[in-house]
A and B are shown apart, each in its own frame.
Chain A
């Protein structure tokens, strides 16, 4: 099981997924992120999925779940860098990722978080 590193930059947690997402890795990421949010009290989470080419309904749902968990710690989640093909797949699956914000790239994602604070 591969681990996705979580970087803390200021009041933001930054997660860049560089591997093919497997169910195990996403569950591990969700747990790690919850631990990290509790430990640091960060106000925002940016998940960069530029390198992710394939998603399924489980991963789509887990992204929403991560957003809901973060909200419990008063942190907003922004998913950045989604590829068009991934967006089309998620739409066809009927997932609209409620509970998370989306942005074109990491820079715009940071703007959203900073605009909020």
Chain B
């Protein structure tokens, strides 16, 4: 089969019926996404894609294929960010097939051309899907980075006393980050007492305890004393039943008790006025 000829004929056919196809294609897309974008907006995007598809088919220049891919990637990324589902995104490309098919159905001589064209659209559809999932992955990794940064604040409680309130699940990556941030803050502020508050930590297992112990001994190497506070009744029971030993590390029920201990060790006393 003469592929180049087929493609050129298809390109000419599409060029002839440009307005009709784009009109129908836009309608299909807008119905597919249930009116979340306006017809004019879709039309503008699709008209660009359409002319790129024609340029690729007619093999007018080498850049067309690259440009088409870039345009599709951009469109899929925008869709992923706006919260469209993957099928809605892929539908945007596949409905071009439907729009063209409705025309070709009346013209029997265009069938071989339509088949090659259909294969090309399938490839483009896959491409959108790939770009879509890449964009989603990107969003997820951005969010987890943001959460990581949000979830580990180091606050100054008093002159020379800092605290790290831990909230949520503790895993190796997060504890590592907490450890680094705590030690950096100790060095930067010259604080010699740190309180690790685990009121917000839902579960303490052997791994989490191990991480906490490591953080405390690293802080000790810097010359700072650590207190663990906010141990809830259930957590205390778990720790004992797992046989975890906190050794000579001071543990307190509340952050207030830990602060009182830190002040006491610093030789300070809080008295009523």
Contact = CB atoms under 8 A, between A and B. Distances in A.
Nearest to A112: B223
B223 A92 contact: no
Contact of A104 (B184, B214, B218, B223): B223
Interface string B223-250: 1100000000000000000000000000
Contacts of B221: 79, 82, 86-87, 90-91, 96-97, 102
A84 B223 contact: no
A91 B180 CA distance: 12
Given A84-B180, A104-B192, A91 B222 contact: no
A28 interface: no
A108 B218 contact: no
A105 B190 contact: yes
Contacts of B198: none
Given A88-B179, A104-B186, A104-B187, A80 B223 contact: yes
A102 B220 CA distance: 7
**Size class of the contact patch on chain A:** 20 to 34
B183 interface: yes
Nearest to B182: A84
A80 B186 CA distance: 13
Nearest to A84: B183
**Size class of the contact patch on chain B:** 10 to 19
Contacts of A102: 220-223
B192 A87 contact: no
Contacts of B220: 96, 102
Nearest to B219: A87
Nearest to B192: A104
B217 interface: yes
B190 A104 contact: yes
A82 B180 contact: no
Interface in A10-24: none
Contacts of B219: 87
Given A80-B223, A101-B223, A102-B223, A91 B187 contact: no
A4 B190 CA distance: 26
Contacts of A97: 221
A104 B217 CA distance: 14
A83 interface: yes
Given A82-B223, A86-B221, A88-B218, 5 more contacts: A88-B180, A91-B218, A104-B191, A104-B223, A108-B190
